[in-house]
Amino acid sequence: MEYTITSIAPIFLFPFTAFVLNAFFGRKLPREGDWLSVGAIFMSFVWACRIFSDFIFGKFSTDYYVHKVFNWIDLSFGEQIFKIDLGIYIDNMTAIMLLMVTGAATLIHLFSTWYMKGDEGGYGRFFIYLSLFTSAMLGLVLADNLLLLFIFWEIMGFCSYSLIGYYNKKERAGYASIKAFMTTRVGDVFLLLGILAIWSVVGNVNYVDIYSAISQGLFEGKVVLGISLATFAAFCVFMGTIGKSAQFPLQVWLPDAMMGPTPCSALIHAATMVAAGVYLSLRMYPLMQLGDITHFIAYIGAITAFGAATIALVQTDLKAVLAFSTISQLGYMVIGIGVGSYNAAFMHLITHAVFKACLFLSAGSVIHAVHTQEMPQMGGLRKKLPITFMCMMLCTLAIAGIPFFSGFVSKDRILGDALYWGLFSGQSKVHFLVPFLGFAGAFLTAFYMFRMMFLTFFGTPRDQHVYDHCHKETFSFNRNLPLIILATFTLGIFFSGSLTGQGIAKVFPKGGQEWFKILVEAPQVKKFESYTKEGFGFSDTRAEKSWEKAHYHHQSGYAGINPENEEGIHHAHVEGAIASIIIAFSGVFLAFLLYIRRTISPDKFVNPLRCWYEALRRKYYFDELYIDIFIKKVLLKFNEFLAFVDMGIYDRFAIDGWEKVNRVLFKASKWFDDVVVDSIAVDGTGTSINIFNLILRIVQSGKIQLYFFILLFVLAGYVWTLDIA
């Protein structure tokens, strides 16, 4: 297929057109136009498959990319030059992302036609937002520059806001939606600053130009606000990731975002939008290295991965467990970026998107059947919901890191790299904390995910009423097919053939069994060094370039660390894998003991650690800190104070006070007039005083126009006497 903007644009335009048509005519269409949304995203999926096959199986070399631009804003006139170009950038990573996004979105759209059915007055609205969201996400993936990315990034934030507030009769939905939008916008504002900083150096923000500027050393020596501009920009861009991917300390919005309908949680708050934050940091990875903030990133990821996992331990709401596990898994991706495990971080993004989307859809299937989200009211549901149970089980195995499943493949590689980074890379051993927290989080993940499964599907029904009202699941196309397809792709063989021999290798001629590892590599800025800016037009000149594939080497992204130590890396990976497997199984086993065999009561842990338990239940008091203390006690009080000062003091005294001053002056002059002038110069100047009195009376009676004319003449007279040289 010919790669031009017009041939690629449909992938974005299909869902966007569906959005426009449904927004205007959705109410008049049969089924409120859901088929339009589903059909459109399926068409995008077909397009994505074509791109994927071209890039992954096809004729291109592995580091081939397509970059096309068109002019959006041109302010140039004469000597004043300023342009903004937008465009598309497609490489292997884009191709994989496109397939994941369109695939997951198609299945989630399909599932929504079942889940949202019968929703009074909102069914059409749901699909309108879903289509807009999907087109924005696809636009973001296709974008060739940070500004366009930012545009779609915010539009996704808007859709997220609207869908979280979907059940608008609930007050809580209102709070949750505003919380989500505002928290992510904190990150967005930083991201905008980052974009501005990069623009000030590169004069542009497209990826290719940024890579080129980095390799040419344009960032060197630039300082902003007393710190290196590269660090400032990298930090600001990473703050965008923190906001969107719900990393510590901006993780607070994601659990509340579960107020939205479950399919939207699956699409937006699990598979795509929250992953977009990680995608941004991956794209800007060379900048992160240049700005030397990779340690910061690794620690943020580790704190998030571990912290969120601990909170998930005590949640009783099915979706809340999944929300915290999403935060935690995103934390692993961020660890991956921090420790230089670029490829594995991206791989985890994809594998996580698949199994987490499936987990959420399964949860939706359960919730729809039992009409509650509280796990204490469930139990024994595997007999009633066998298909959902099977799918959810496969995904749980994947997320828990059980061998042969996708989550194991990707998470283990991140942890292995983290282990190498923390212990063997020659830096201070203190950084062992990062892999330690990672492994500890992995143990907790296995435990809480199986706790969730056991509480929901195993044992005896805890609430007989709920159980009895749950209909037995029979296969239905739009409910179960998405689950089954997604669950299938939780198998590890799709992502890495190393555990299954050569079978799958033949499918992927380029890279064989480790196709994913080979096709995705950190941007090598060196390649972009020789690249010079050329003229832009509607059809770009530097469209399709490709280099000889660099000799495949173990991913060498370790910031400032010798990448040649392959043996050390391999060593770390073997140890890491063994540790992962032991940890995962022991987590599962502990959950088994607590919730199936019940040999140990969970209360044994809870009772002595009551205050910790409470802290976890309250999510480490972040909501209290941000909302009750910062917003209510500080921000709102400050606002009220300022508004009071503005109207009650400044306006009342400093502005309206002039009226009082004038009155006093007039009274004084009237007194002067009545007492002094009248009594002293009794009748002598009667006429002139009468005129003066008349003026005063006019002024005091409030005829301001006249007053101003007098003032005007006085001022004009004064200016007249000015000495103008």
Q: Taking the CB of residue 227, how many other CB atoms lie within 10 A of it? A: 11
| 82 or 477: CB nearest other proteins | 82
What would the x/- binding string for other proteins be over residues 100 to 139, using CB under 8 A?
---------------------x------------------
Give the shortest CB-712-to-other proteins separation in angstroms. Answer: 6
Give the shortest CB-12-to-other proteins separation in angstroms. Answer: 13
Q: Does 186 bind other proteins (CB under 8 A)?
A: yes
Give the shortest CB-330-to-other proteins separation in angstroms. Answer: 23
Which one of 416-424, 540-548, 607-615, 717-725 is the stretch in contact with other proteins (CB under 8 A)?
Answer: 717-725
Which of residues 30, 118, 171, 534 is near other proteins by CB under 8 A? 171
Which of residues 574, 664, 704, 706 is near other proteins by CB under 8 A? 704
Burial of 531 (0-12, 13-18, 19+ CB in 10 A): middle
Which one of 297-305, 393-401, 675-683, 706-714 is the stretch in contact with other proteins (CB under 8 A)?
Answer: 706-714
Q: Does 90 bind other proteins (CB under 8 A)?
A: no
Give the shortest CB-30-to-other proteins separation in angstroms. Answer: 20
Which one of 174-182, 209-217, 399-407, 592-600 is the stretch in contact with other proteins (CB under 8 A)?
Answer: 174-182
Q: Which amino acid is at 721?
A: T
Which one of 503-511, 556-564, 690-698, 700-708 is the stretch in contact with other proteins (CB under 8 A)?
Answer: 700-708
Handedness of CA 158, 163, 169, 171 (dihedral sign): negative
Give the shortest CB-528-to-other proteins separation in angstroms. Answer: 23
Q: What is the DSSP letter of 223?
A: E
Q: Does 25 bind other proteins (CB under 8 A)?
A: no
Which one of 173-181, 389-397, 455-463, 583-591 is the stretch in contact with other proteins (CB under 8 A)?
Answer: 173-181
Q: Taking the CB of residue 10, how many other CB atoms lie within 10 A of it? A: 15
What is the C-alpha radius of gyration for the chain, rounded to an integer number of angstroms? 32
Which one of 210-218, 547-555, 605-613, 703-711 is the stretch in contact with other proteins (CB under 8 A)?
Answer: 703-711
Q: Kindly state the tokens that stand for 548.
A: 């000889």
Give the shortest CB-678-to-other proteins separation in angstroms. Answer: 31
How far CA 351 is from CA of 93, 97, 104, 354, in Å, comes to: 14, 11, 11, 5
What DSSP letter does each residue of 15-26 carry, written as one string? HHHHHHHHHHHG
Which of residues 59, 225, 430, 472 is near other proteins by CB under 8 A? 225
Q: Which of residues 436-475 bind other proteins (CB under 8 A)?
A: none
Q: Does 75 bind other proteins (CB under 8 A)?
A: yes
Which of residues 2, 80, 551, 679 is near other proteins by CB under 8 A? 80
Residue pair 456/366 in contact by the 8 Å Cβ criterion: yes
C-alpha 168/C-alpha 238 separation (Å) is 32
| 52 or 152: CB nearest other proteins | 152
Give the shortest CB-211-to-other proteins separation in angstroms. Answer: 21
69 three-class SS:
strand
Give the shortest CB-628-to-other proteins separation in angstroms. Answer: 16
Residue pair 215/525 in contact by the 8 Å Cβ criterion: yes
Q: Which of residues 523-562 bind other proteins (CB under 8 A)?
A: none
Residue located via tokens 């459109």: 40
Q: Does 293 bind other proteins (CB under 8 A)?
A: no
User: Which is nearest to 132 in space by CA: 43, 18, 46?
Assistant: 18
Give the shortest CB-241-to-other proteins separation in angstroms. Answer: 17
Q: Does 196 bind other proteins (CB under 8 A)?
A: yes
C-alpha 242/C-alpha 337 separation (Å) is 13
Q: Taking the CB of residue 710, how many other CB atoms lie within 10 A of it? A: 13
Give the shortest CB-524-to-other proteins separation in angstroms. Answer: 29
Can you give the length of the chain in residues? 725
> Could you tell me how many residues of this chain bind other proteins (CB under 8 A)?
73
Helical (H) or strand (E) element with 83: strand 83-90
Residue pair 581/442 in contact by the 8 Å Cβ criterion: no
Going edge to edge, which strands form the sheet with 544-545?
83-90, 65-74, 544-545
C-alpha 38/C-alpha 112 separation (Å) is 9
| 86 or 375: CB nearest other proteins | 86
Q: Does 6 bind other proteins (CB under 8 A)?
A: no
C-alpha 429/C-alpha 523 separation (Å) is 28
| 383 or 703: CB nearest other proteins | 703
User: Which is nearest to 399 in space by CA: 245, 592, 255, 584?
Assistant: 584
What DSSP letter does each residue of 495-558 carry, written as one string? T-GGGTTTGGGGG-TTTGGGHHHHH-----GGGGSS-------SS-SS-EE--PPPPP-S----
Residue located via tokens 């005590």: 314
Q: Does 182 bind other proteins (CB under 8 A)?
A: yes
Q: Does 79 bind other proteins (CB under 8 A)?
A: yes
Give the shortest CB-647-to-other proteins separation in angstroms. Answer: 7
Which of residues 123, 181, 207, 489 is near other proteins by CB under 8 A? 181
Q: Does 200 bind other proteins (CB under 8 A)?
A: yes
Give the shortest CB-104-to-other proteins separation in angstroms. Answer: 23
The reply to whether omega before 249 is within 30° of 0 (cis) is yes
Give the shortest CB-251-to-other proteins separation in angstroms. Answer: 18
Q: Which of residues 614-673 bind other proteins (CB under 8 A)?
A: 635-636, 638-640, 642-644, 646-647, 650-651, 655-656
